[in-house]
Amino acid sequence: MLTDLYVFGDSPLHRTRPVVKITALVVFCSTLFIVEGWASVLVAGGLVVTGFAVAGLKPRHAFVSVRPALWILAAIFAVQAYLTDVVFAGFVVARFVVLILAAALVTLTTRTSEFVDGILSALTYAPAWVPKEQIALAISLCLRFIPLVRAVLEDVRQAQSARGLDRNLTALLVPLVVRTLKTADEVSQAVYSRSFD
């Protein structure tokens, strides 16, 4: 079953239009990359923490959002520490963490249906040849597959851990890929059966 990342709430962030949140996220992330230095990361981090507090989200929501990227962040830190120094490596990783949390804040406070409506409204003035409904559907399915893949990975990890294969990368990836492709095939058949071009 495809699920949402949305966390129910009635905060100002939950009530903000999706187009506004997406636009703000783009501006926020672009500014964080343009303005260098620890000061920008600290200010951006403070804004994200404030956003989580205003939205009524808990620290576990932030941790769950960052957890899938921990290995990648560790690899980035190791490479940057080797090529430059530990301080710059920490800066790069901190900036990525803030970016991930900012994107998570938007995702956790916006229903997928609201994302689709926002995208459709943003494409209102697009040329007639632009497939508006198809673009909205594709983005909606991408957003819904994120928690699905995460849930499947957790199920596979627990099953393989019971078999003593939790450290075997092949034993984790093969079932994950097979189950994800099977679900994708089922979704594509459902879309096709509804005559959605």
pLDDT per 10-residue tile (average), the chain, 197 residues: 66 86 88 89 94 91 84 89 90 93 88 77 78 76 71 81 79 84 81 69
87 phi and psi angles, rounded to 5 deg: -65, -45
pTM of the full structure: 0.72
In the numeric block, the tokens 């100002």 are attached to 12
Long-range contacts of 90-99 (CB under 8 A, 24+ apart): 91/38, 91/41, 94/38, 94/41, 94/45, 95/32, 95/33, 95/41, 95/44, 96/69, 97/45, 97/66, 97/73, 98/32, 98/41, 98/44, 98/45, 98/48, 99/29, 99/32
pLDDT computed for residue 143 by the predictor: 66
Could you tell me the end-to-end alpha-carbon distance of the chain, in angstroms, rounded to an integer?
A: 23
pLDDT computed for residue 51 by the predictor: 93
Structure tokens at 106: 């938007």
pLDDT computed for residue 89 by the predictor: 92
